[in-house]
Amino acid sequence: MQTKTALITGATSGIGLETARILHAKGYSIIATGRRQERLDALKSEFSNDRIFTCCFDVRNREELQSQIQSLSEEWKAIDVLINNAGNAHGMEPFQEGNWADWEAMIDINIKGLVAVTEAVLPLMLARKSGHIINVSSIAGDQAYPKGSLYCASKSAVSMITECLRIDLNAEGIKVSEIKPGMVETEFSLVRFKGDQSRAENVYKGVTPLSGKDVAEVIVYMVEAPKHVNIAEVLLMPLDQASTTVFNRKTV
């Protein structure tokens, strides 16, 4: 049986890294992408075989990512699964105190970056009439919360892009899915609060959040569903979370 290939963006940490590990352990060949070459090198060393290929690019650089994907060998171009995981939150202030650079980063990474990667990979799937695109979104795309306007908007856009893509590709033999995690403890909050470790840790205080591995295991479940089954949408939350704003925080 031919080895399947998965391309994962944002594969250098958190959900993307754990998804790469699980799929690789299950026999998939992995195309791991990210902005940090040293982490991609570490992942390649961890896997230590020929079933991993790394591409270092920022999803905001459409020309660079297109060039790298187009330059893949014919073997690596046979991409069965695209997991659009790269995404970030930047800043957390009321809209009236927001920062344009933060807003632009979220739009460029979470929306335009996802579209650019999909644009580059989709022709390879269309040519084979086969494939599966999984977009990693967020509960924030469904439910607004204070000080989250642009992040929530960016994830809402991912949801609508996913739904429209599923309709557009309905006759093409390509699955399109979305996973919407709630609170996940990764580098997410550290990035959002620009390296403020104390503020990042407070996000998870008193609750047991999801881990990157928890989300990755559900993504892999979606990937391995029977050919005729498309798990179109999954909302995944920790037990301690009921919505974007309601948490069961324990006190010591």
Amino acid sitting at position 68: Q
CA-closest candidate to residue 132, choices 86, 178, 66? 178
Contact predicate 237/210, CB 8 Å: yes
- Residue identified by tokens 């403020």 is 196
Give the C-alpha separation, 134 to 87, whole Å: 13
User: Is 151 one of the annotated active-site residues of the chain?
Assistant: yes
Exposed e or buried b for every residue in 152-165, given b needs 16+ CB within 10 A? Answer: bbbbbbbbebbeeb
CA-closest candidate to residue 10, choices 124, 136, 150, 102? 136
Which one is catalytic: 28, 145, 151, 204? 151
Give me the active site residues, please: 151
